[in-house]
Amino acid sequence: MSTATFAELLAQRQVVIVCGTGGVGKTTTSAATALAAAEAGRRAVVVTIDPAKRLADALGISELGNTPTVIDGPWPGLLAALMLDTKSTFDEVVRRNASDDDQAERILSSRFYRNVSGTLSGTQDYMAIEKLAELYDSGDWDLVVVDTPPTRDALAFLEAPQMLSRLLDNPIYKLVTAGNRGVFGIANKAAQTVVRQLARVVGAHVVDEAVAFFQSFNGMEKGFKDRAEATLALMGDERTAFVLVASPRSDTLDEARYFLDRIRQANLDAAAVIVNRMLPSTGLSLTQAQLLHVSLAATDGAGVSRALLDLATASAADDDRVADLAEAAPHAVLATVPMLADDVHDVDGLRVIADLLTR
Amino acid sequence: MDPGRFFASSRVLIVAGKGGVGKTVSAATIASAASRSGRSVLLVEVAGRSASAPIFGVEPQGYEQVTAVDETEQDDPPRGRIVLQSITPDQALMEWLTTHGFKGIVTRMASSGILEVVATATPGIKDLLVLGRIKAFESEGSFDLIVVDAPAAGHALGFLRSPAGVRDAARTGTIHRQAVEVLDLISDPTRCQVVLVTIPEETPVNELIETSFAIEDEMGVRLGPVVVNSVLPTLAGLDADLVSLDVSDAERNALQTAVTFRAGRAALQDEQLTRLGAELPLDQFRLPQLFSTTIGPDELAVLTKALLAEIEALPEVES
């Protein structure tokens, strides 16, 4: 385990990407991370994805928004949050890259585009990263924290910036854009065969729409590629910290280890591992709790000693699993947050977590 | 209700829920309870890695079917077999193309990246084809019950929306017909029900309630009972006078910590269970929290027994 602290990490980095499976408190951790940075005097903004309603209300970001909302509070720095609007962000990306308004409108009005922007897997990741790049480039923020969409695969997020350029690198795109007179104008014979077969699978109009969509992208590839490369560089160097959030339940810790492996496949490493929902320590070892339960089994203390044994058993298991995870991430800062009595739905609750993270 | 009758009410049970609520364990428990009621079960996992094999204490076999439990005549009623099957969306797409007359071009399409374009052009196609595989298992009729461990991570809605999405996106073509067939399956309560899983905590309960209304209102899919996992068992004697116990101070402190924690969790849990019952008019199957480190066959047996008791506690319904 690294000897650095989470507070040091927040002071050094400019981007924090918070990953992990669903149900481990990722959004709350992201918001608390930004708050901790604001408390340390930094200008911090957090991009949240689908936060729980009460937390969103508390942060004043219940409406989808593409600009940060500043949250007032007694911290020396600046804290702002936004809830990612995938569709609007995608529209902005298209407008920014289009050579003129006509091209932008052609793309935005296509049904294929609406499918892609709304439902293509990875779109949300891609737009979260677009938003990250935009906030980073603005120069308004010392730290940009990004909550990632719940996914099984950390690499989906890392690969997101290349999604569109990869789509545009696709051979079918190249084939269909070689001609410019719609499906039946495709000059290349091999391309025609492929397109006809596709039409049998999904119906001719889907192929028509896809072809028109690809053709309307003509000339925009470079903008996407440049952006993807710049963002990948940002995520890949020391400006960015990947923070993995987990809970001590065995299934989510398995997922966390899988995440670590996948992140490493991309030659990256987690800078911090945060384990939420740790059970309280009883102060006794598991063996002591077992012995006490045996000695109290026939007394009025049977119920309370059962409660102790249950807690000690679960807590010992948590500790073992967290130790294993820490071993699997030798270079990461480890921070644990105890299980709290209630979900966090206000800024005071976030401050409690921010303090626990940076203690 | 008689468990045998419960498990006969539809042939496909789709077990869905957000990550971290114990969906895979719930699906395994449902499969196990059905097997105990004499039904043969195919447990389908839609994921990259088989997570249910260790629960049954068997080795995962990639995408091959694995027999997790053999049928036995000794038990009363006789146990049905449980077979595990893992499906990935990519594999479902390839298989579907191969069996629908596109065999010749599948390899070429895959290697050229064209498959990805097909998937892009028709959002939801992979989820649809996973459901298509499940429909095929249903029509083959080799099993009394098919339990589907649906994709996690917030995709439960996307998964169930996929047939309608594809039907509307691809208005003609082979895939359109597949979408219509799958829609017939998931919207027919005599063939398919969705079982949602949650834990008794605020956010998971909120998400369950939202998902439930979306599924019933938008998709016309019938919801079965809700599985509530990790319910703390009630413990008698928590109000014992700790001062009167013959224990050391350290032990007394530990007992106090445990009692305070347990009582606090129990109160929060009751609040959430009550709220769930008030806001969602569905039966609840409550499964106990286990204080073990891993879930294997022994823990599965405990959960199976608990689920069977919950089913038996349901009122009989008119057929």
pLDDT in tens, B11-22: 999 999 877 788
Say if residue A150 is preceded by a cis peptide, omega within 30 of 0. no
pLDDT in tens, A169-188: 666 666 666 554 444 455 56
For testing contact with chain B, the best of A86, A166, A201 (most B CBs within 10 A): A201
pLDDT in tens, A81-107: 999 888 888 899 889 888 899 989 988
Is A1 inside any structural domain?
no
Residue spans of alpha helices (H) in B60-149: 89-99, 103-111, 114-121, 125-140
**Mean pLDDT for the stretch of residues A297-308:** 94
**Mean pLDDT for the stretch of residues B146-170:** 79
Is A103 inside any structural domain?
yes
> What was the pLDDT predicted at B259?
95
In which domain, by residue range, is A177 found? Answer: 6-358
Hey, what long-range contacts does B310-319 have (CB within 8 A, 24 or more apart)?
A: B310/B284, B310/B285, B310/B286, B311/B1, B311/B3, B311/B6, B311/B33, B311/B285, B312/B1, B312/B2, B312/B3, B314/B1, B314/B6, B314/B225, B314/B283, B315/B1, B316/B1, B316/B2, B316/B5, B317/B1
**Mean pLDDT for the stretch of residues B162-168:** 83
Structural tokens at position B178: 């597949």
Chain-chain contact of B123 with A310 (C-beta, under 8 angstroms): no
> What was the pLDDT predicted at A216?
77
Given the candidates 3.30.2010.10, 3.30.230.30, 3.40.50.300, 3.40.50.1370, the CATH classification of the domain at B3-232+282-312 is 3.40.50.300
What mean pLDDT, rounded, does chain A reach? Answer: 84
> What was the pLDDT predicted at A170?
63
Ramachandran region of residue A103, left (φ > 0), alpha (ψ -120 to 50) or beta?
Answer: alpha
ipTM: 0.80
Q: What is the pTM of this model?
A: 0.83
CA nearest B286: which of B234, B227, B202? B227
Question: For residues A222 and A216, what is the distance between their CA atoms, to the nearest angstrom?
Answer: 14
Question: For residues B216 and A28, what is the distance between their CA atoms, to the nearest angstrom?
Answer: 30
- CB burial class (10 A; 0-12, 13-18, 19+) of residue A54? middle
**Mean pLDDT for the stretch of residues B175-196:** 92
Percent of chain B with pLDDT over 90: 55
CA nearest B24: which of B287, B281, B265, B306? B287
The residues, ordered by sequence, that sit 6+ positions from B272 with a Cβ below 8 Å of its Cβ are: B200, B201, B202, B205
For testing contact with chain A, the best of B251, B260, B275, B293 (most A CBs within 10 A): B251
More confident residue, A282 or A52: A282
| Domain total of chain A | 1
Is A50 inside any structural domain?
yes
Does residue B109 sit at the A interface (CB-CB below 8 Å)?
yes
CA distances from A18 to A8, A47, A157 (A): 17, 10, 11
CA nearest A104: which of A116, A90, A121, A118? A90
pLDDT in tens, B34-62: 999 999 999 999 875 678 899 999 988 77
Question: For residues B273 and B262, what is the distance between their CA atoms, to the nearest angstrom?
Answer: 16
Is A319 inside any structural domain?
yes
Taking CB atoms and an 8 Å cutoff, what residues of chain A touch B264?
Answer: 341
Chain-chain contact of A116 with B264 (C-beta, under 8 angstroms): no
Taking CB atoms and an 8 Å cutoff, what residues of chain A touch B176?
Answer: 203
Query: Is residue A234 scored above 80 in pLDDT?
Result: yes
pLDDT in tens, A106-120: 888 887 787 666 655
Residue A197 pLDDT level (bands cut at 50, 70, 90):
confident
CATH number for position A148: 3.40.50.300
